[in-house]
Structure formats: structure tokens, C-alpha cells
Amino acid sequence: MSYNAPLKDMQFVLNELANLAEVNALPGCEDATPDTVEAVLEENAKFCGEVIAPLNHAGDQEPSFWRDGAVTTTRGFKEAFRAYADAGWQGVQHPQEFGGQGLPKLVATPCMEMLHGANLAFALVALLSDGAIEALLTAGSDAQKARFLEPLVSGQWTGTMNLTEPQAGSDLAAVRTR
């Protein structure tokens, strides 16, 4: 499976509709220059097209599974996630003080779109990690931020979503109103 990011369209939206130049002038957004943003998007498109998209078919043929207390992921996912984290893609929008690149979410959004377009199953790990990072940045204590943010932003750890079984107190279908 191939993926070719619509870079021209993304750059048009960033520059003409979202006014990247105006965003770049805001405090804390000085690194979001047109040249930097173009390079980030081009590299992300290349990574998503060459590394992430080819895993789609493998994920359909050999999905991850749980057996004997261990999760086995689709062949190639572990290595691809390590490459994703090592390249700093998890930290594009997150603060530099926690190991991120500190770019505006406006720049991270097309990167996330490319990741989702290339392979949604793979992208869910990054999405859940972003959710955990955002929750900690918004409502975490200083101790929680110090403990969890750097490993999450670096991709050493990932965020998760945990769902409970029916009858465990969070089954909305069992809730009755009057």
C-alpha cells in the first residue's frame, strides 16, 4: 500500500488559510518559519510514505494479539514506532522543556493527518500518547509532569486507553434515568 501526502494542499492551508506567517510572529512560535515548516512536512510525508504506510497490509494480514500474558504486535510495528520516536515525531507540538520540538499545533496537525492517512492502526498509539501528554500538561501536578512527560514525549512510553467490562461501573448502557 502506498501513501502520498497532499503536501501542496497542506502548505496552501497553512500559509493562505491559517496564515502561518501570523502564527510565526506569536511568542513561542518563532521556530515555525516557512522553511522549517516545509522541511518538517516533507520529512514527515517521506517517513509516513516509506515506513508507516507499508505496514497497513501486514497489519490486516497479521494483527496484533494477546497470548499467554504477552502482546505480539504486527511484524514491523515495533521497529517503525522506534524510528518514529527516535525521529522526534511524537514531540512535534510538545514543549521543548520535556523533549519536544515546541512547534505550534498548527504544524503538528498536518503531520498527524499524514500519519493517520498512512496507517490509522499505527497512528492510534501516537494519538493516545498525545492525549495523555495534553492531559498532563493541562491538569497534571508538577510531580506528575516531571515523572511522565519526558518519557511520553520521547516515545519511551506510550499512552493507552483502558476500557472496562460491562457491570464494572462504567457501562453506560446499564445506566437508567427517570
pLDDT digits (tens, 9 = 90+) for 23-65: 999 999 999 999 999 999 999 999 999 999 999 999 889 998 8
pLDDT per position as a tens digit, 75-101: 999 999 999 999 999 999 999 999 999
Question: Which of 9-18, 50-59, 134-143, 155-164 comes out lowest in average pLDDT?
Answer: 155-164
Residue found by looking up cell 515555525 in the block: 32
Distance CA(137)–CA(71), nearest Å, equals: 29
Q: Name residue, grid cell 506567517.
A: 21
Residue appearing with cell numbers 493517520 = 116
User: Which three three-digit cell numbers place residue 83?
Assistant: 524510528
What is the percent of the chain with per-residue pLDDT over 90, rounded to a whole number?
A: 83
